[in-house]
Structure 1
Amino acid sequence: MTAADRRHVLVIATQCEAMPDLEDLDTAARSLVAVLTDPGIGACSPGLPDGQSLLLGRLGADEIWAAARTAVSHAAHKGATLVMAFLGHGMVTGEHPTLYLLGWKSVDGRASSAVNVKDLLGQAVDHLGVRGVVGIVDTCNAAAAPPSVEALTTGARGGRTSLHLLMASPVQQNAYDLDLSKALTRLLTTGVATGETHLGLNTLTRHLRAADATRRVVTLSYDGDSKSDGLWLGQNRQAAHGSTAAVGPRGIGDLTAGLLALFPDRPLPVEWTTSMLRDLQREVAALPVTHRRIRVERALDSLIVAERTVALLRSFMPKQLSTPALRRALKVIGTHWRGPLAEERDAVEFVALNHPRSEGSCRPAMARFVVALAHDAAYDLDAVEIRAWASEVGALLPYNDVVLATRETSRQRRLRLVVRLDSPAGDWPETLSAWLLLDGDVHLRAVFTECPPSQTGAEAKLVEAVEWAEAEAVDLGLDLRHIDIALPSTIMLRWAPEEVLNGTRLGEQYEVRPRWSIRLDPPAGMRWINKHARARLSAVAARDTDCATTWLLEDRTRQRDRLMDDLRNGRLTTPIGLMKHPREDPELMDLLLAFTPILMWPAGPDGRAEHCAQVEARWDGLPAAFLAAYRARWKGDRSDPLADLRSIWDDDEWLRFCIGRGVRSHNSPGSAK
Structure 2
Amino acid sequence: MTDGLARHVLVIGAQCRAMGSLTRLEQAARELHGVLTDPALGGCRARAGEYPSLLSNKEFKPADVRKAVEAAVQQAKADSAVLVVALLGHGFTPPQQTELYFMVSDSTTESVSSAVNVRQLLTEAADEAGVDGVIALVDTCHASGAAPDAGQIAGGIRAGRTRLSVLTAAAADEPARDMRLTFALVEVLAEGLAGAGSEVFVDRTLTRELRERVSGQAVGRMEYDNDPFALESLWLARNSRYRGERAADEVVGPLGRRELQQAVEMWRVQRHLPERLTRTALTELHEFVCNGQAEDETSADWRIRVGDVAGALVECAQTGELLSSVFATALTSDLLRAAGRLAGFPPEAEGSVLLRDLLEYAALCAQPVDGARWQGLARFVAAVEYQIDFEVKDPQTREWARQHGVITEYNDALAEFSQSRRRQEVRLVVSLASAWTDWPEEVDAWLLYGQSALPARERFICESADRIGVGRAIKAALDWARSRLPVPELLMHVDVAAPAHLLAQWQPEEEKVGRYLLGAHHVVVARWSGRLDPSEDNAEINDAARKTFDAMASCRRVSVEWVDPAVLGDQAGLEQALMAGQYAAAVGLDHHPQDLHEILGLFLPYTPIILWPRADARPANGEVQTVVQQNWHQLPNAFADAYRDRWKGTHAGCSVCLGDIRAVWHDEAWLNFCRPFENRIVVAPEEEL
Q: Which amino acid aligns with 2:77?
A: D
Once the 2 structures are TM-superposed, how far is the Cα of residue 524 of structure 1 from its aligned partner?
5.2
CA distance in 2: counterparts of 1:618 and 1:194, whole angstroms: 27
SS of the counterpart of 2:662? strand
> In the alignment, what sits opposite 1:466?
478
> In the alignment, what sits opposite 2:198?
198
CA distance in 2: counterparts of 1:580 and 1:99, whole angstroms: 26
SS of the counterpart of 1:413? helix
Range with bigger deviation, 386-395 or 302-311: 386-395
Q: Does structure 2 conserve the Cα–Cα contact (< 8 Å) formed by 1:162 and 1:224?
A: no
Once the 2 structures are TM-superposed, how far is the Cα of residue 383 of structure 1 from its aligned partner?
2.4
CA distance in 2: counterparts of 1:164 and 1:585, whole angstroms: 38
Once the 2 structures are TM-superposed, how far is the Cα of residue 614 of structure 1 from its aligned partner?
0.9
Q: Does structure 2 conserve the Cα–Cα contact (< 8 Å) formed by 1:413 and 1:482?
A: yes
- The equivalent position to 2:346 in structure 1, one of 311, 336, 339, is 336
> In the alignment, what sits opposite 1:628?
641
Once the 2 structures are TM-superposed, how far is the Cα of residue 275 of structure 1 from its aligned partner?
4.4
Once the 2 structures are TM-superposed, how far is the Cα of residue 342 of structure 1 from its aligned partner?
3.8
Once the 2 structures are TM-superposed, how far is the Cα of residue 348 of structure 1 from its aligned partner?
2.1
Q: Which amino acid aligns with 1:490?
A: H
Confirm or deny that 1:448 pairs with 2:460. Answer: yes
Q: Which amino acid aligns with 1:126?
A: K
1:587-606 map, 5 Å: 587-605=598-616
Confirm or deny that 1:569 pairs with 2:580. Answer: yes
1:228-627 map, 5 Å: 229-231=233-235, 243-260=248-265, 262=267, 269-286=274-291, 287=293, 290-338=300-348, 341-355=352-366, 358-359=369-370, 363-380=374-391, 382-423=393-434, 425-439=436-450, 441=452, 442-449=454-461, 451-473=463-485, 475=486, 477-501=488-512, 502-523=514-535, 525-545=537-557, 547-583=558-594, 586-605=597-616, 608=619, 609=621, 610-627=623-640
> TM-score, normalising length from structure 2?
0.65
Q: Which amino acid aligns with 2:264?
A: L
| Cα separation, partners in 2 of 1:403 and 1:562, compared to 1, 3 Å | same
Q: Does structure 2 conserve the Cα–Cα contact (< 8 Å) formed by 1:340 and 1:544?
A: no
CA distance in 2: counterparts of 1:261 and 1:363, whole angstroms: 24
Once the 2 structures are TM-superposed, how far is the Cα of residue 657 of structure 1 from its aligned partner?
0.9
Q: Does structure 1 conserve the Cα–Cα contact (< 8 Å) formed by 2:428 and 2:495?
A: yes
Q: Does structure 2 conserve the Cα–Cα contact (< 8 Å) formed by 1:196 and 1:239?
A: no
CA distance in 1: counterparts of 2:244 and 2:336, whole angstroms: 25
Q: Does structure 2 conserve the Cα–Cα contact (< 8 Å) formed by 1:433 and 1:447?
A: yes
Once the 2 structures are TM-superposed, how far is the Cα of residue 319 of structure 1 from its aligned partner?
4.5
Q: Does structure 2 conserve the Cα–Cα contact (< 8 Å) formed by 1:418 and 1:486?
A: yes
| Cα separation, partners in 2 of 1:462 and 1:319, compared to 1, 3 Å | farther
Confirm or deny that 1:157 pairs with 2:144. Answer: no
Q: Does structure 2 conserve the Cα–Cα contact (< 8 Å) formed by 1:626 and 1:643?
A: yes
Q: Which amino acid aligns with 1:649?
A: W
SS of the counterpart of 1:318? coil
| Cα separation, partners in 2 of 1:124 and 1:493, compared to 1, 3 Å | closer
Confirm or deny that 1:660 pairs with 2:676. Answer: yes
Q: Does structure 1 conserve the Cα–Cα contact (< 8 Å) formed by 2:609 and 2:665?
A: yes
Q: Does structure 1 conserve the Cα–Cα contact (< 8 Å) formed by 2:73 and 2:128?
A: no
SS of the counterpart of 2:575? helix
> TM-score, normalising length from structure 1?
0.66
SS of the counterpart of 2:584? coil
| Cα separation, partners in 2 of 1:439 and 1:123, compared to 1, 3 Å | farther
Confirm or deny that 1:648 pairs with 2:659. Answer: no
Once the 2 structures are TM-superposed, how far is the Cα of residue 599 of structure 1 from its aligned partner?
0.6
1:276-318: per-residue Cα shift (whole Å, max 9, x none)? 4233212112457634323322321221221122112211223
Once the 2 structures are TM-superposed, how far is the Cα of residue 467 of structure 1 from its aligned partner?
0.8
Range with bigger deviation, 227-236 or 350-359: 227-236
Q: Does structure 1 conserve the Cα–Cα contact (< 8 Å) formed by 2:83 and 2:131?
A: no
Q: Does structure 1 conserve the Cα–Cα contact (< 8 Å) formed by 2:428 and 2:446?
A: yes
| Cα separation, partners in 2 of 1:381 and 1:330, compared to 1, 3 Å | farther
SS of the counterpart of 1:419? strand
Calculate percent identity across the aligned residue pairs.
27
Q: Which amino acid aligns with 1:618?
A: N
CA distance in 2: counterparts of 1:291 and 1:324, whole angstroms: 40
How many residue pairs end up in the alignment?
A: 520
1:324-366: per-residue Cα shift (whole Å, max 9, x none)? 2222222233322247634422322233333356356772222
CA distance in 2: counterparts of 1:393 and 1:477, whole angstroms: 34
Q: Which amino acid aligns with 1:296?
A: V
CA distance in 1: counterparts of 2:268 and 2:136, whole angstroms: 32
CA distance in 2: counterparts of 1:621 and 1:387, whole angstroms: 28
1:142-221 map, 5 Å: 153=125, 156-157=128-129, 159-161=131-133, 198-200=198-200
| Cα separation, partners in 2 of 1:507 and 1:195, compared to 1, 3 Å | same
Q: Which amino acid aligns with 2:381?
A: V
1:579-602: per-residue Cα shift (whole Å, max 9, x none)? 444555534312201111111123
1:245-283: per-residue Cα shift (whole Å, max 9, x none)? 543454345434543554567685544444442332121
CA distance in 1: counterparts of 2:649 and 2:575, whole angstroms: 41
5+ residue gaps, structure 2, are 8-38, 56-67, 85-120, 138-188, 207-220, 684-689
1:480-532: per-residue Cα shift (whole Å, max 9, x none)? 11111111112222221111212111101111111111112331544311111
Q: Does structure 2 conserve the Cα–Cα contact (< 8 Å) formed by 1:451 and 1:457?
A: yes
Q: Does structure 2 conserve the Cα–Cα contact (< 8 Å) formed by 1:487 and 1:515?
A: yes
> In the alignment, what sits opposite 1:108?
none
Once the 2 structures are TM-superposed, how far is the Cα of residue 647 of structure 1 from its aligned partner?
0.8
> In the alignment, what sits opposite 1:177?
none
SS of the counterpart of 2:366? coil
Q: Does structure 1 conserve the Cα–Cα contact (< 8 Å) formed by 2:193 and 2:200?
A: no
Q: Which amino acid aligns with 1:641?
A: C
